Amino acid sequence: MDYPTFTTLYKNLKNNIEEITKIIKIPEQLKTPAGRKTLERLKYLFYSLTKSTVDIGHSIILENDYRDPLNRTDIFISLAERDIILPSAVRGVKKATLVLPRLNDYPVSELLDIITNSLGDIHKCLDSFEVYFSLKDKKF
């Protein structure tokens, strides 16, 4: 992935983060029957944000021929070992990645806790990716 392509994706993902942040500020709206559509939107945004973060991280590993990750969560451990992302961001991104297959199984309050606790680390991870791609672009 080149820097201009990443920049476009990065802007979209930052917009997702902003929208998720607005939704989780008013959690009461998600518990009403009318809030079901907003809840589904929240799940979709979180899923696509997390999945994109996994895909970007995996592409960095593949293009640099780093060690093969054991699973999706190991992608972030591998990137932290190479100082691509901050080690402090690994915990939240791993948690987000682990819940993806069961996103619809969580009660609203627990889902909000997971999203709230993971969002900052996902944001840090994306910021680290932005630094990586900008530096990579300047090397070539």
> 63-66: long-range contacts at Cβ-Cβ below 8 A with a sequence spacing of 24 or more?
63/1
DSSP 128-140: HHHHHHHHHHHH-
Domain ranges of the chain: 3-139
Q: Is the pLDDT of residue 140 over 60?
A: no
CATH number for the domain running over 3-139: 1.20.120.580
pTM to 2 decimals? 0.92
The b/e string for 52-81 (b: 16+ C-beta within 10 A; e otherwise) is: bbbebbbebbeeeeeeebeebbebbbbbbe
pLDDT tens column, 94-111: 999 999 999 999 998 999
Q: Is the pLDDT of residue 139 over 70?
A: no
pLDDT tens column, 33-85: 878 899 999 999 999 999 999 999 999 999 999 988 999 999 999 999 999 99
Position of tokens 């972030």?
A: 76
